[in-house]
Amino acid sequence: MKSPFDLTGRVAVVTGANTGIGQGIAVALAEAGADIAAVGRSEASETAEKVRALGRKCELVSADLSSIAPVRDVVDSVVSSLGSLDILVNNAGIIRREDALDFSEEDWDAVMGTNLKTLFFLCQAAARHMTGWSSQSGKRGKIINIASMLTFQGGIRVPSYTASKSGVGGLTKLMANEWAARGINVNAIAPGYIATNNTAALQADETRNRQIMERIPEGRWGDPSDIGGAAVFLASSAADYVQGHILAVDGGWLAR
């Protein structure tokens, strides 16, 4: 009997898959049987090696997602090279830090452009492809957006990041409302504090690290593989009746 978590024969696009959470998601999806297209500015050669070592295909798609210019080419490239696009994981994102009183328009536009505008139009392009085959094949398309703790909380000194990730939560629900009837599941994952290169400074700060650990009921930083497991669930048939949900993978941070 086939496992409901089996992704064999599926093709997954993961943006920002070169390291950290994106790499963890790509590897987890490959472990479940999916072929991977790693999309982003930075070459994801290490991720490709890990995916191919699992016996899965991995295509590297170079694209600067700071604008929507490459969106259509990304979808066309993936479909051409791997034959389909069944799963989209929007992981790529940027952050700018400054007091709200001094925050610049440039930093606002940069973050909102990458984290929200490009995310939406990549979802749109992928959904147009998915609706082309879902009614005939019975397959369901899966879109997974990466939200944040700041989808639920305000944070400090990251106004455009908070706004963009709040927007990701809202768009996830809107797209689920519109596309569920078209055979597409749209959900999001909100990672808590995950041990990656991006959080190395926080981990090294003894005071801040202690404060973070004291609030996490699980008592540890998350690992990228923790996010990978959630992505496999949302990408699989086990989540066919899950729509518009923002899954917090945070060790209990929000519960505290």
Convert the pLDDT of each residue in 121-179 to its tens digit. 999 999 999 997 655 667 899 999 999 999 999 999 999 999 999 999 999 999 999 99
Q: What is the pLDDT of residue 23?
A: 97
Please say if 161 is a catalytic residue.
Answer: yes
Active-site hit among 120, 161, 233, 253:
161
The Cα–Cα gap between 61 and 3 comes to 30
- Mean pLDDT on 78-104: 97
**Residues whose CB is less than 8 angstroms from the CB of residue 24 and which lie 6 or more positions away in sequence, other chains included:** 223, 224, 225, 226, 227, 228
* Domains of the chain listed by start with CATH number: 11-249 (3.40.50.720)
CB atoms within 10 A of CB 56: 22
Helix axes 71-82, 119-137, angle to 10 degrees: 40
State phi, psi for 188 to the nearest 5 degrees: -140, 155
pTM of the complete model: 0.96
